[in-house]
Amino acid sequence: MNRVAITFAVACALALPWSVHARGNVDNGKSKSQACAACHGPEGNKPVGPDFPIIAGQHADYLSKALRDYKSGARANPIMKGFAASLSKQDIEDLAAYFAGQASPLQTHR
């Protein structure tokens, strides 16, 4: 291996964990969450009614999968499809990171 190939290999090895574990940005998620508050509550923990799920404190992976599935149609819900449709991949990660970190009635052991 020449020096360029080694440098490239090392750079890839270092970059890989970041790309695989791309995580959302909580602060960006917070500002993007304004639209969600109307139904899920300001921090996702006080939904407006029994048909609206608590999303605060849910696992980030679960939240991002739910949003991707609404967007793709794999999970069918006319209300959430509309909201998920306009979200980018990064929006989804940011929102998932934000809501996962909020205090929640789902976590009684905290």
Site string for ligand HEC, 68-87 (x = CB under 6 A): ---------x-xx--x----
CA atoms within 13 A of residue 93's CA, in its CB half-sphere: 10
Q: Which residue, 19 or 86, is less far from ligand HEC as judged by CB?
A: 86
Q: Is 56 in the site for ligand HEC (CB under 6 A)?
A: no
Size of the site for ligand HEC (CB under 6 A): 17
The H-or-E segment that residue 92 falls in is helix 89-100
Query: Closest approach of Cβ 35 to ligand HEC, in Å?
Result: 5
User: Contacting ligand HEC (CB under 6 A), which of 30, 53, 81, 101?
Assistant: 53
CA distances from 83 to 6, 34, 74, 102 (A): 45, 12, 15, 20
Based on its alpha-carbon atoms, the radius of gyration of the chain, rounded to whole angstroms, reads: 18
52 binds ligand HEC (CB under 6 A): yes
Torsion of CA 86, 91, 92, 97, to 10 degrees: -150
Binding site for ligand HEC (CB under 6 A): 35-36, 38-40, 51-53, 55, 63, 66-67, 77, 79-80, 83, 95
